[in-house]
Amino acid sequence: MLELATDLLPLLRAGETVATVTVSGVARSAPRGVGSAMAVTREGRVIGSISGGCVEADAVALSLAALASGCGSSARFGFSDEQAFAAGLACGGSVDAVVALVRPDDEVAIAALEHAAADRRARIGIVLNGPRAGRVVDVDPTTNDSRVLGCADDGADVLAVASTPRPRLILLGAGEHAAALSRVGTAAGFAVSVCDVWELLVTRERFPDARELVADLPHAYLERQEPEDIDERTAICVLTHDVRLDIPALRTALAMPVGFVGALGARSTVARRAEMLRSEGVSAAQLARLHSPLGLDLGGAGPEETAVAVLAEIIAARHGGTGRPLRELAGPLHRRAADDAACTVSPGRPAAASVAVGCALSV
């Protein structure tokens, strides 16, 4: 539900009640994990998705029924390998989901949605069973992940849904490579900040999707970041091509507790830059954190292709990916699905993997 905040808030503010369908558990492989959601309006407008397509029709039907009756519910959507293949899924299985009605006067839901829309931490609970099934409730403020909480609402299970701010992608330098990386990074879910010393380059026309545009010395901008502004998901890319700017920027970035620091540059530039950083007191351990030359070897050369290569390296570093073609690897395609399955079994409920796979929808 929280991932749909920017779409749901205008509807709720206009006085419309919306049905949401949120994944509470998956068995076998699934493209979307626990907490993923879609929404349906009374007119049948569908926002978001919970699968590759094979359960959406049933989810829409259940949502419309909930809107008509005024009551939420839980459901298990089952699909065969053949159906899953036709819908673009990796394999058959089942998806547990809960249908909730979000009304314009639901203060708990709206407060959480407003936090999520503002890129702030947010969390809600959705009752999974019992007479209050589908009801949106508060959950413990320390809950930071999406999972089922057993017997958390007067004996009923509750799906806790948590939303964290988008990871930050800080681009130091506002050239064409930065403009391309801003577009690609925003599309991939990053909150992009762009800083360049040249004010005429840091414009909304060049960076229409960036969250923040700053005209300043890159290292000075980094030094102003508060501890709550950055975390291990933050990526910093130095794209200035000017040693007068990128050396102090890299020295500052490598001392920060961020997950990724990278810099564009030819191999000769990388070697010269590393020597200059050493001479300024940057340690070998800090230099080992630097991703430079920046990007995976995808063979492209233009700004857009370079942006894809850079973002691919950032994502691989963040999640521990190999960067190799999936066809050369073994094991689950969706690592998240295995993690979700381990945390969605609550007391008194069977493990999702033990459910027989079929075509029926059970409510």
Start-to-end Cα distance in the chain: 20
Average confidence (pLDDT) over 299-312: 93
The pLDDT, as a whole number, for residue 79 is 62
Question: CA distances (Å), 320 to each of 33, 167, 198, 313, in order?
Answer: 18, 16, 35, 10
pLDDT of residue 81: 60
Q: DSSP secondary structure string, 18-37? A: EEEEEEEEEES--SS-TT-E
Kindly calculate the radius of gyration of the chain based on its CA atoms and give it in whole angstroms: 23
* pLDDT score for 312: 96
Largest CA distance in the chain: 71
- Whether the pLDDT of residue 42 is over 90: the answer is yes
Residue 307 has what pLDDT?
A: 96
Q: Answer for the pair 123, 163: CB distance below 8 angstroms, yes or no.
A: yes
- Average pLDDT over every residue of 103-120: 93
Q: Are 18 and 39 in contact (CB under 8 A)?
A: yes
Rounded Cα gap, residues 232 and 256, in angstroms: 10
- Whether 229 and 193 have beta carbons less than 8 Å apart is answered as no
Other CB atoms within 10 Å distance of the CB of residue 265: 20
pLDDT of residue 31: 58
Q: For residues 197 and 33, which has the higher predicted lDDT (pLDDT)?
A: 197
Looking at 98-102, 257-261, 346-350, 354-358, which range is the least confident one? Answer: 354-358
Edge-to-edge strand ranges of the sheet holding 168-172? 212-215, 191-196, 168-172, 235-238, 260-263, 290-291
Q: State the chain's mean pLDDT as an integer.
A: 85
- DSSP 8-state code for residue 14: T
Please, which residues have CB within 8 angstroms of residue 328's CB and are 6 or more apart in sequence?
A: none
Q: Write down the pLDDT at residue 237.
A: 98
Tokens at residue 76, please? Answer: 């298990």
CB 218 within 8 A of CB 240: yes
* pLDDT tens digits for range 68-99: 999 999 888 766 666 555 544 455 567 889 99
Residue 40 has pLDDT above 90, yes or no: yes
Specify the DSSP element, H or E, that contains 322: none
Lowest mean pLDDT among 45-54, 340-349, 351-360: 351-360
What are the pLDDT digits (tens) for 153-207?
A: 888 999 999 988 899 999 999 999 999 999 999 999 999 999 999 999 999 999 9
Confidence of residue 355 (pLDDT cuts 50, 70, 90): very low
Phi, psi of 177 (to 5 degrees): -65, -40
High-pLDDT (> 70) share of the chain, %: 85
Decide the pairing of beta strands 168-172 and 212-215. unpaired
Angle at Cα 342 formed by Cα 339 and Cα 347, nearest 5°?
Answer: 150
pLDDT category of residue 350 using cuts at 50, 70 and 90: very low
pLDDT in tens, 229-244: 899 999 999 999 889 9
Which residue matches tokens 């291990």?
232
Distance CA 77, CA 196 (A): 50
- The size of the chain, in residues, is 363
Identify the band that residue 340 occupies on the pLDDT scale cut at 50, 70 and 90: very low
pLDDT, residue 54, reads 65
